[in-house]
Amino acid sequence: MRAFVPEENLPDPEDALNLFLKEFPIKRRSIIVDLLQASGKVTSSPVIAEMDYPPFNRSTVDGFALRSTSTPGKLKIVGKISIGDWKDIKIGEGEAVEVDTGSPLPEGADAVVKVENTEVVDNLVTVKNKLRFGTNVAWAGSDIPRGTTILEKNQEVTPEDVGAMASLGVTSLEVYDMPSVYILATGDELVEPGKALGPGKIFESNVHYLSARLKQLGCRIVGGVVLPDEKEKIRQALKKAAQEADIIITTGGTSSGEKDYIHQIIREDGKIIIHGINFKPGKPTIMGALYGKPVFGLSGNIVATVMTFNQLVRKYIEHFSGISGATRRSVSSRVIATLIMPTRADPHRTTNTPVYVLEKGEKFFAIPLPFDSYMIGTFALADGYITLPPGSNLESGDQVEVNIKSVDTRPVLIGEEDESLKKFEGRKVLLGTVPACQALRYGLGDVLVLSEFLCKDVTNDDFVEIRKSRWILRNGEGDPVGYHEWVGMSKLVDNPSVKLKSPSTAKLFLGKAKVIAPSGYIHGERLAEEKLRILARKSYVEFLERIFSEH
């Protein structure tokens, strides 16, 4: 039975795929995979940090761990802790312990002096300058506090994510499964490569191309056969394919030839949803359902197979695997972006600084992140990075080239961290008021959270403003722990010994120093009332009013 595919009124590939998905919806599967198998897959549930990173207080330099209150002065060297060691050493006033970069700090130490800034004679080390609490220390949780969401649901896992999760001891995670695929090529003229090529015969190439392409996408190939144009053999092979695979792909047998049996079998035993697309090469393409499984009947022409695979089958696989709906995708590209915050390089070394990238119209904007080289979590969450020559200083408004490693399409919240905003379903860039105030000037972001301590008068007609007040509490004695100058609470602490990025890590310093944080993060006495400005695009105003009414 011949089946002629008309020339007119054929759907284009996009319309054809949408109709196919409507008629034959995909049923995704969630599976648990080992961490090393997760890159490129899409999360089916969030990944939450169950520990702090770093997991302990550690030195960021080679030198001597000590009590900051013992400086300046001559200190007795009472031991050494190498990287990877854990020694039960407690230091007192006037004592020091030699440490490497990455070594755990001994109990009682709250600062590290660089070895090049000391003089060592016998078992005494001389420190000439006063050290502040926290100097050259990477505090536990300063990169990834316990409870941080490392990956949200529906995000593509990147190699940097794998590194961050490994640093947290994660060994497996839940992702959407990739489909298994069975490939059948039909045609009396086909000979498998490696066998003798007789007159009128050609070497089969479609199965080889499809196998290579499917493996590249991460699919499992459970069968690949080359069959002559014998209807019952083809039917039995298709039944076997339906039993073993999620997707069936055939090549050949879709047009009007007397021995084009693929379309006949699908009509007899299943359902043809699409037969013919407005596309060249590849017009006689079939999409249908056979024995309960989706089947793609591609042309026997190798170029048509390549083209229709990329236009239809690849996109179907992306729906199956969750890639098409991923809110963050891995990419590798470069864009020119406008800095909305200043940044500077190391005076002597080329410096790579991670950035968040925001898009407005056809323009890109970059926010450089506070960063130290141990912060794999910060780097994994960033969209990309900029590379600066030694000694360079860049200002807001300067143009930079950004190496993009991922693209996040979720709505974005920029600004201060607050307990009431945990329900915001989107990206949270919790860097403080200063970058949020700059975003307001540039008209960037969807929700902006600003402290009146740092941004009181800047407005933008594209945003609706809601106000909220919160109490800032104080707990403890000793050297003050403050905040990065981008955070509103930085105005409440003069000359802090440590500058935190967010109040989530404030609890780590309780009992060690004087700590301030908003109510809900720590307990303590009231220090000051902070007024927050919540600015939102109109589509988010109702959501914000609802969550604030709950608090």
Which domains are present in the chain?
7-26+178-325 (3.40.980.10), 30-52+143-176 (3.90.105.10), 58-138 (2.170.190.11), 334-404 (2.40.340.10), 412-550 (no CATH)
CB-CB neighbours of 338 under 10 Å: 16
What length is written for the chain?
Answer: 551
SS3 of residue 34 by DSSP:
strand
Would you give the distance in Å from CA 373 to the centre of its chain? 18
- Work out whether the CA dihedral 537, 539, 542, 546 comes out positive or negative: negative
Per-residue pLDDT of the chain (551 residues; tens, 9 = 90+): 445 455 668 999 999 999 999 999 998 999 999 999 999 999 999 999 999 999 999 999 999 999 999 999 999 999 999 999 999 999 999 999 999 999 999 988 999 999 999 999 999 999 999 998 889 999 888 899 888 999 999 999 999 999 999 999 999 999 999 999 999 999 999 888 989 998 999 999 999 999 999 999 999 999 999 999 999 999 999 999 999 999 999 999 887 667 889 999 999 999 999 999 999 998 999 999 999 999 999 999 999 999 999 999 999 999 999 999 999 999 999 999 999 999 999 999 999 999 999 999 999 999 999 998 899 999 999 999 999 999 999 999 999 999 999 999 999 999 999 988 888 889 999 999 999 999 999 999 999 999 999 999 999 999 999 899 999 999 998 888 999 999 999 999 988 878 888 898 898 888 888 999 999 999 999 999 999 999 999 888 777 777 666 65
**What's the CA gap between 167 and 196, in Å, rounded?**
54
State pTM to two decimals. Answer: 0.88
Q: Which of 353, 506, 356 has the alpha carbon at shortest distance from 429?
A: 356
180 near 245, Cβ under 8 Å?
Answer: yes
